[in-house]
Amino acid sequence: MDVSGQVQQLTWLGSTEEWSLFWAQPRQQCEVYALCGAFGTCNQITQPFCNCLPGFSPKFMADWILSDFSGGCARKKLLQCENPIASNKDSDRFWEYPNMRLPEHPQSVGVNRDTECKSSCLSNCSCTAYAYDSDGCSVWFGELVNLQQLEGNDGNGSTLYLRLAASEVSSAKSNKGIVISTVVGSVVGLLGLVVMVI
């Protein structure tokens, strides 16, 4: 059993004096149960495999540096509904996380619209996320485990709406905007340089 949670069989290569992996179960790293811990998301095509959801950071950073992600992630800021000094108890927001393998242990809610699903989650401070798709409304309470970011062409993904403090949603959108404007600015600058050379 490897520290990654996989059962692995290796063979010793005398010529290179290295161990070579020839069998592992489960095959993909992201299939290991709770590999990234609570509020961590696994992505099979990136290194490291695990990252924290927006609004969260590694609970035990020293372990993450050693590639042990099992401790998971913790909220950076309290939800508004948990904050005793918050003036507006209903100002939590939801961060849209598309193309996800949804976490374990959903609970179904009998509603007919996305807005009703959102309201149902927002009305309970223990509700940490919701999803609304062809299967109806699903909500999650407490820690989210076994999240996986799927590839763009994978049709099995759903959109997860993660509950965050309003200030976390604003800062996450700002960071996203900064990245987009930096990329656009670089492309425009490069095109301008090409035009000047021509």
| pLDDT tens by residue, 85-111 | 665 554 789 999 999 999 988 999 999
pLDDT for 13:
80
| CATH class of the 77-197 domain in this structure | alpha beta
Provide the sign of the torsion angle of the four alpha carbons 157, 161, 167, 173, taken in this order: positive
pLDDT for 131:
95
Write the CA distances from 140 to 14, 106, 126, 132, 172, integer angstroms.
50, 5, 8, 12, 22
pLDDT tens digits along 46-75: 888 899 999 999 999 999 988 889 899 999
Q: Where are the domains of the chain?
A: 77-197
More confident site: 22 or 71: 71
